[in-house]
Structure 1
């Protein structure tokens, strides 16, 4: 893209892609290992290219790399050394660029809990033990590799707790790379959006206020019904907002399967845009058809 992503966000909504890993799974690829879709960066890169291309054909303007679970630690457990792991992280950018040449490339930076492959990104239970310094050290190599490979922005996503937000903000500032900051949230009985760790989401989003590297804040891997309260909370940052909910289904980490049914109700999309959403897409179980419906809704809402 010749236009910078911040400039595009100032002009209007931008369509983000959907759930890369769950679309790979829907196409018959095995993503059940602890590496999830990152395994295919090594074993079947053409499959990753095909899904990126499908989302681009559906109207996605941002291609999110297959690096959510691509970490030095995760690849080490699979027998790959540090250099090999970081080469695969860089490959994720090249594959996205190749398959969606007209798109911005967002380098996916998943939370520490994703590397544990135990569903703890949906609890944030690890942050008290791990601490901010260790989280910074964990995120640093991948963030640097994605930036060096030419990602337009780093998608720091599915963050469950304030401590991890602090860590990725510190690393983004240290590296001087543009990021978007995306929490996974729930709504409490009083209608207040909270992180998975239980903190008030508005307080966590406010941590990004005044940080020049942050181009947008918002939510992903959140139930579609919880997006509205989350966007209200995200307004505390004073930045463009992001809304990339999952389908409404719930991940059962013990059984390693999705439970329930659901889909993103595109009738809610114009309301998200009125609330400030400028990056709109999907997450787990939202495939190319769902992204095409979001793109059509945005075109209709914006008019000719």
Structure 2
């Protein structure tokens, strides 16, 4: 990791996040069709995970997100692995990210409860009310603790579809005292209001993070690029730096387990997000190293222009 915290870097200017780790693994030819998705390779082919991280590092990513998104005790138990193995794989995810991206901040991925169900419910949050905040806290607690103990610099609580799950994650983060970011997956309603996939106003969810020192950023991921700019505005209401890492613009068909539509993550759009207040910027599903490299060039160019303008103004 760098010699200073991620929060310090975000206060100074935009930081480049990586892209879709599973996307890069699929590009390398790996089959991720199982319920464990990319987490399967933590067990079966860890060197592939290192190579995927390295590809994003070469593209300029300053933050590496671990392959722990879909690791859970319950999910691994379904394929015959116990809690001890779950912990071992979570710890391994941090060490593999460190190997693939020396000098980067390591973000321990904390995916939502629905991801472990492998039924698409992470994009609806339908389970949140029934499971409840207390049970969600208990469910998330081991992985968050294991990632912290393994040496992650920050926890990426990501693709969060519902207010109840956001509340659970924030309460656990506050108890743990570990730097975290909270990233919702959102949609725009007919009136242009940014909402969680469960339907709650995102601005109200972000506001839950306002008084928590452990939260270094709030924002949005795993959403359409067209919805990012309104989400940045909603997230800024929390008074925290904003994190954004949308999908490519294609859409996931959970029933058919395939992507549909046309990819199009634009560096020009990313610059507009930064102008609106985003500070941690990258990509999620279907965003590979080439797109991250283009984003890196755009953000570095913007920083260079700011430095020239600053010098001219002296």
Deviations 1:208-231 (A, max 9, x none): 001011000000001000000001
Deviations 1:181-219 (A, max 9, x none): 000001111111110001111111111001011000000
Secondary structure of 1:139 counterpart: helix
CA distance in 2, matches of 1:249, 1:132: 31
The answer (yes or no) to whether the contact 1:180–1:214 under 8 Å persists in 2 is yes
Within a 5 Å distance, the mapping from 1:94-243 to structure 2 comes to: 94-243=95-244
Spell out structure 1 runs of 4+ moving beyond 2 A.
none
Q: TM-score, normalised by structure 1?
A: 0.99
> Residue 248 of structure 1 corresponds to which residue in structure 2?
249
CA distance in 2, matches of 1:26, 1:249: 16
After TM superposition, the structure 1 stretch with the greater mean CA deviation from structure 2, 286-295 or 253-262, is 253-262
CA distance in 2, matches of 1:212, 1:103: 22
CA distance in 2, matches of 1:266, 1:245: 12
Deviations 1:103-138 (A, max 9, x none): 000000000000000111110001111111110111
Secondary structure of 1:33 counterpart: coil
CA distance in 2, matches of 1:234, 1:133: 25
Q: What residue ranges of structure 1 are gaps of 5+ in the alignment?
A: none
CA distance in 2, matches of 1:287, 1:263: 12
Q: Aligned-pair distance for 1:27?
A: 1.5
The answer (yes or no) to whether the contact 1:177–1:213 under 8 Å persists in 2 is yes
Q: TM-score, normalised by structure 2?
A: 0.96
The answer (yes or no) to whether the contact 1:49–1:98 under 8 Å persists in 2 is yes
Q: What residue ranges of structure 2 are gaps of 5+ in the alignment?
A: 308-314
Within a 5 Å distance, the mapping from 1:71-86 to structure 2 comes to: 71-86=72-87
Secondary structure of 1:208 counterpart: coil
Secondary structure of 1:108 counterpart: strand
CA distance in 2, matches of 1:83, 1:173: 25
CA distance in 2, matches of 1:261, 1:118: 23
| RMSD of equivalent CA atoms | 0.7
Larger radius of gyration: 2
CA distance in 2, matches of 1:25, 1:221: 17
Q: Aligned-pair distance for 1:25?
A: 1.1
Secondary structure of 2:237 counterpart: helix
CA distance in 2, matches of 1:289, 1:147: 30
Q: Aligned-pair distance for 1:270?
A: 1.5
The answer (yes or no) to whether the contact 1:263–1:286 under 8 Å persists in 2 is no
The answer (yes or no) to whether the contact 1:111–1:121 under 8 Å persists in 2 is yes
